[in-house]
Amino acid sequence: MKRTRFSISLFVYRMLLVLYPRQFRLRFSEQMQEDFRDLLAANDGSSHLRSRLDAWQRVVGDVAKSLVHERWGRNRGHPSRGKAPVRRSLNPFSTGTVLQDVGYALRMWRKSPGFVAIAALTIALGIGATTTIFSIANSLLIRTPPGVRNPDGLVTVFKARQAGSEPGMFSYPTFRDLNEFDTGLSDFGAFSLFTGSISTGIETEPQRVAGLIVSGNYFRILGTRPSLGRFFAPEEDVSANTHPVAVLSFRQWQRRFGGDSAIVGTAVNINRTSFTVIGVAEEGFQGHVTGYDFGVWVPMAMGEAVSGLRLDSRRQSEVAGIGRMAPSATVNQVAAAFAVATERQREQHADEFENVSLVVSPYRGMIEFARKPVTLFVILLFSIAGIVLLIACVNVAGMLLSRGSARAREIAVRLAVGSGRVRVIRQLMTESVMLFLLGGGLGIGLTMWATTALTNLRTPLPVPMFVEFSPDARVLAFTVVVALLTGVVFGLAPALQTTKTDLVSTLKDDSGNSGHRRSKLRSSFVVLQVTGSVVLLVVAGVFLHALSKADSVDLGFNPENVHVYSVDVSLHNYSGEESRAFFRTMHDRVRALPGVESAAIAWVLPLGFDYVGTAFQVPGSRSDGNEEYLSAALNAVTPEYFQALRIDFVTGRNFDAGDRSGAHRVAIVNETAAASLWPGQDPVGKFLDEGDVSYEVIGVVRDAKCRTVGELPRPTVYWPRSQRAAASGSLVIRTDAGRESIAREVAEIARGLDPHLPAQANAPYEQVIGLSLLPNRAAAAAAAAFGILGIVLASVGLYGVLSYSVSLRVREIGIRIALGADSGAVRRAVLGHGLKLVALGLGAGLPLALGAALLVRSMLYGLSPADPITFGSIVVLFLCVGLIASYMPARRATQTDPIVALRCE
């Protein structure tokens, strides 16, 4: 009765038995099911459920153990063969066996150095690519900047509107107030960024420098040590402007002062104020923010001298906090304490804390708001490198498989004389893992070369940046893990396949079923390889295509023959009047130079370094009295700006001499602003309010790109510089073509006005725009480099694998032809097979590539990710490679004399 009843347990067990080798199953499955029934029914007083659980508990382990044993543990079907099955085997993981395997692998290497060289090089390219990107990720996102000790105990404090929004700074008086609260920090310090110039007394040419204005406890909080002299003493950070002392970075000391230890006690000029150098920070320390090349530190009390930071002003929100937690405190406790402090501050200083609170986050090297884009960028590069690695590995796996076929007899002999299959598999795996480790070692070499080049790469950025990309122990560990993992994963399939030989036929030199199985595995390698390469190439192609498009994209202005000179005079404590005078004189003198067609001063440069934006209200825009807001980019320009950049007027007039300071306020808007505020109406004569000030729109100009080449047109409002002069600014100078001496002439004029002022930029506009393309250029360059690498690897691999699988069929083809098959038909069949594999790979790869391209869409310049040219050329390319790779061996095979083919393989 019981035995005929359907039981789920029994059904599952029966399913498990299917996993056993066929022979074993045929012989024992019925008995095993009987036994299992008895086990289920065994009822020693325990409940039905309990006995069921007991039975399963016993059977699960048993199936797992015996399955491995029956499938891979011995040589099935040849009872006479193999080591004595009942004897205790040698410990397979003893040092002796491993060394034996290693020794054997080394002997095999000596026999085929060519194979080893090509395979190791292929792996080195894949692993090198991945490790390089990991090295970059490590330097930017994982590693704490050198010289910062116990980073886990550090927190940063910023001001933000809500959690997650862009962090901002607070005022120095607030920092002092916060120090009065018990916040769970053992030490709480402040820092503020500044840029400017540094020079020694003798030197005439000042150098640009980025530095930090810090509270006296800054170095103590970070745990940084001086390599020379000392850091700030408490009394040096108390009263404003009394102790002009500075600490230099090691790099600054080496580069600017030749590592002269007499530097301590000497004077340097920082932003026109003389400071005494009291110490040099330890080697490698560039400040606590990843990426910045801070060269100098001055105490908060000297902030006013270098950047106008006043210790008593609550209106200047220019400092951020960094603190070390008390040993017992957690980040959450500190955050809660700061929340309480914020509320107290809000009661007393409502202005500074309107809609904002203090945000406490665990310290990370990368500045908070840069973290997300950098992470995305790194992930993108990492994925591309990962595909290169995949292609390289599949290539090598294919090579191992082919080599396995060549060694089939050797392996068959080893199996026949009694090696266990596990033992042979382990031997093969040892060989492949060693090969991948060798490749990994070479890959680390490539990474070192690439990261050194990257570290030394100098780009003209507005703020000095420096990142040490060189690999450390973590990168090394990563490489080893990748090499081991890929070695095991990509060595396993060929090893399993190679040892799955039909001994008798292999020894008799007869290509049997195993060849067929192997060719199936090889075919899947071809498909996988094509898939990976397609994704890689499409992404690379889309990037490259997008980049070439970017050069022809309509910027809305014409940077050709325009020279740019930028300077931030506020760094040198120019007053508003001094700054206006400086720019006016600069402008007039430059304008008078021969060959200058037009010149203008602009607050910000389109696609330059800065962006200024604000929200305007539009009076009378809504009948219910709630006025509409317009978030717009801002610029303050002199009249010739539009002519110099060739930004055309759509309607209305340009600024003129009448739009003076104190006169009726006017503004020019771009088409997008006009269209979104006054659709279908004439914007000229309409008004925009910013706070209490009203501006009359006097003209409309065409849209121009503002922050990035890829952005959608954004509303922009222009003010006349005469009505709103800002301290910083740029000169845009349109010259006659080929006017190359302009940079020198402009620099001379600037030096004549102020010899201590370092220019932010003095270069052709096109070069400045190049900076805004830098992330995309870098990604495109990486994608292109990896793409070319990928296509070379993939083509070689595809050719190798396809031609090898055809060459295995030489004998079969010989027989067909001997039996009268038309050689053309045979050739077509072989070609068809190769192309089918390529088509399968394309079929799988193209949708994946489309997905990948969608992911990188935000980096593209208004292109649809399904760029037909890119996709089309890749399809054609792979079909060509597939065609050549199958045709050559097919031709060879059909030309072989059938007699020869039949006689020997």
Q: Interface residues with other proteins (CB under 8 A)?
A: 20, 24, 27-28, 30-32, 34-36, 38, 58-59, 61-63, 65-67, 69-70, 74, 79-80, 84-88
The residues with which 889 forms a beta bridge, in sequence order, are: none
Return the number of the residue (72 or 611) whose C-beta is nearest other proteins. 72
Pick the closer one to other proteins by CB: 58 or 903.
Answer: 58
Contact 153, 325 (CB under 8 A): yes
CB of 87 to other proteins, least distance (A): 6
d(CA 658, CA 34): 105
Nearer to other proteins, 70 or 368 (CB): 70
Nearer to other proteins, 32 or 842 (CB): 32
Query: Of 601, 598, 567, whose CA–CA distance to 722 is shortest?
Result: 601
DSSP string, 374-399: HHHHHHHHHHHHHHHHHHHHHHHHHH
For other proteins, the closer CB: 35 or 472: 35
- Closest contact distance (angstroms) between CB of 11 and other proteins is 16
Pick the closer one to other proteins by CB: 423 or 518. 423
Residue partners of 23: CB distance under 8 A and separation at least 6: 76, 77
| Strand, coil or helix: 362 | strand
The helix (H) or strand (E) run that includes residue 666 is: strand 666-670
Residue 565 gets which letter from DSSP? E
Identity at 334, one-letter amino acid code: V
Cβ neighbourhood burial of 196 (10 Å; 0-12, 13-18, 19+): buried
> Based on CB atoms, which residue is closest to other proteins, 17 or 125?
17
Return the structure tokens found at 257.
Answer: 């002062």
Is 41 or 453 the residue whose CB approaches other proteins more closely? Answer: 41
> Cβ of residue 421: shortest distance to other proteins, in angstroms?
14
CA neighbor of 345 nearest in space, from 376, 314, 304: 314
Residue 897 burial (CB < 10 Å; 0-12/13-18/19+)?
exposed
Let me know if 669 is exposed, middle or buried by CB neighbors in 10 A (0-12, 13-18, 19+). Answer: buried
Give the containing element (helix H, strand E) for 674: helix 671-677
C-beta of 21 vs 770, nearer to other proteins: 21
| Shortest distance, position 426 Cβ to other proteins, whole Å | 20
Both tokens of 714, joined, read 């954004």
CB of 901 to other proteins, least distance (A): 40
Rounded to the nearest whole angstrom, what is the least distance from the CB of residue 48 to other proteins in the complex? Answer: 20
β pairing state of 207-214 and 294-299:
parallel
Closest approach of other proteins to the CB of residue 43, in Å: 14
CB closer to other proteins out of 27 and 409: 27
- When the beta carbons of 35 and 627 are compared against other proteins, the nearer one is 35
802-805 contacts, C-beta under 8 A, 24 or more apart: 802/526, 802/834, 802/837, 802/882, 802/885, 802/886, 802/889, 803/885, 803/886, 803/888, 803/889, 804/398, 804/402, 804/522, 804/889, 805/519, 805/522, 805/523
Instruction: Return the residue matching tokens 């210790």.
Output: 311
The Cβ of residue 7 has, within 10 Å, a number of other Cβ atoms equal to 15
| Minimum CB distance to other proteins smaller for 74 or for 734 | 74
**Toward other proteins, which CB reaches closer, 35 or 283?**
35
Residue 58 CB, nearest approach to other proteins (Å): 5
Q: At 466, phi and psi to the nearest 5? A: -155, 130
Q: Which amino acid is at 174?
A: T
Min CB(6)–other proteins separation in Å: 18
Q: How far is residue 34 from each of residues 3, 10, 187, measured CA to CA in Å? A: 9, 10, 74
Residue 405 in 3-state DSSP? helix
CB 415 within 8 A of CB 501: yes
Determine the 3-state secondary structure of 77 from DSSP: coil
Would you say 213 and 356 are in contact if contact means Cβ atoms under 8 Å apart? no
CB 327 within 8 A of CB 356: no
Closest CB to other proteins among residues 66, 643: 66
Closer of 33 and 227 to other proteins (Cβ) = 33
CB of 495 to other proteins, least distance (A): 23
Minimum distance, C-beta of residue 46 to other proteins, in the bound complex (Å): 15
Provide the angle, in degrees to the nearest 10, between the axes of the packed helices 48-72 and 421-455.
Answer: 80
Least separation in angstroms between residue 72's CB and other proteins is 12
Of 86 and 819, the one with the shorter C-beta distance to other proteins is 86
Measured CA distances, 864 to 365, 545, 786, 847, 868 (Å): 36, 11, 22, 15, 9
Give the C-alpha separation, 779 to 285, whole Å. 28
Report the nearest approach of other proteins to the CB of residue 20 (Å): 8
Cα separation values, 801 from 25, 67, 514, 832, Å: 36, 33, 17, 15
Cβ of residue 507: shortest distance to other proteins, in angstroms?
21
Q: Which of 75, 125, 120 is nearest to 431 (CA)?
A: 120
Question: CB of 690 within 8 A of CB of 628?
Answer: no
**DSSP H or E run through 844:** helix 823-855
Q: At closest approach, how far in Å is the CB of 428 from other proteins?
A: 24
Give the residue with the Cβ less far from other proteins, 22 or 508.
22
**Shortest spacing between CB 40 and other proteins, in angstroms:** 12
CB of 44 to other proteins, least distance (A): 12
- Residue from 419, 391, 330 nearest 101 by CA: 419
Q: How many residues does the chain have?
A: 905
CB of 786 to other proteins, least distance (A): 48
For other proteins, give the closer residue by CB, 59 or 467: 59
